[in-house]
Amino acid sequence: MTRLTLDDSREGLADFPDGFQPVARDDGGDVLAIDTAGVLWCFVHDMGSWSSRTRAFDSLASMHDYIANQVDLDLIEPEETIEALQARKARVAALKQRLRNSPYARDATRQLLEELREAIADRRFWQSKRGKSLAARQAIGVRCKQALHEAGVPGEWIVGAQGPDSNLIGVYGPFVEPWSEARVLALLAPMVDGPYELRCCATPTR
């Protein structure tokens, strides 16, 4: 998300059009300027001229409201809890409603609200019984692959959760003697804990 910073300087703004007073810039270098009617426009920088502009905010007060709350539009951090994300989602939705006539804010809040909904759903899944089972089986799969590697078992192996609604862990590999299915299972059995079960499937060998 691009952040806005208050800046009314005309430094570096050669040939900036009359009738517009710069009031802020975003971290992409674009300039926000207010016209004589009090409407704010976003002027795209580095285009060779200032002819490219789009309506940004319906008033200076709207832009100040956006700036005061733009911390809520930052990227979602992995450590944010469901509760924190839900609270942020409510604040962003309220900001979107207040600034519904300001395209700059409307676009930014709409995008983040979609990301927040996805992040909340994702965290809910991983906290569910299905999600915890999937995470546990994925972790077992990592340990099993490491055990195969350390034992010098030849070939390409895939070990991981088999289906989202089962307790199965698939073991896919060539099972070439002396590494038969029975011997591979004997090697990997100590890696498996909980109600999980290894299921082998031989892959074609070249």
Positive or negative, the CA dihedral 14, 16, 19, 22 is negative
Residue 131 buriedness (CB in 10 A; 0-12 / 13-18 / 19+): middle
What single-letter DSSP state applies at residue 169? E
pLDDT at 112 over 90: yes
Residue 206 banded pLDDT, cuts 50, 70, 90? low
- Give the C-alpha separation, 156 to 92, whole Å: 47
Residue 4 banded pLDDT, cuts 50, 70, 90? very high
pLDDT at 178 over 80: yes
Give per-residue pLDDT as tens, 50-68.
888 999 999 999 999 999 9
Provide the percentage of residues in the chain whose pLDDT is more than 90. Answer: 82
pLDDT at 135: 93
pLDDT at 1 over 80: no
Residue 67: helix, strand or coil by DSSP? Answer: helix
pLDDT at 115 over 90: yes
pLDDT at 47: 65
Give per-residue pLDDT as tens, 138-176.
999 999 999 999 999 999 999 999 887 889 999 999 999
Residue 12 banded pLDDT, cuts 50, 70, 90? confident
Residue 48 banded pLDDT, cuts 50, 70, 90? low
Segment 103-107 long-range contacts (CB within 8 Å, at least 24 positions apart): 103/54, 103/55, 103/56, 104/32, 104/40, 104/42, 104/56, 104/57, 104/63, 104/66, 105/57, 105/62, 105/66
Average pLDDT score over residue span 113-138: 95
Check if the beta carbon of residue 198 is closer than 8 Å to that of residue 189. Answer: yes
Domain boundaries, the chain: 4-126, 130-202
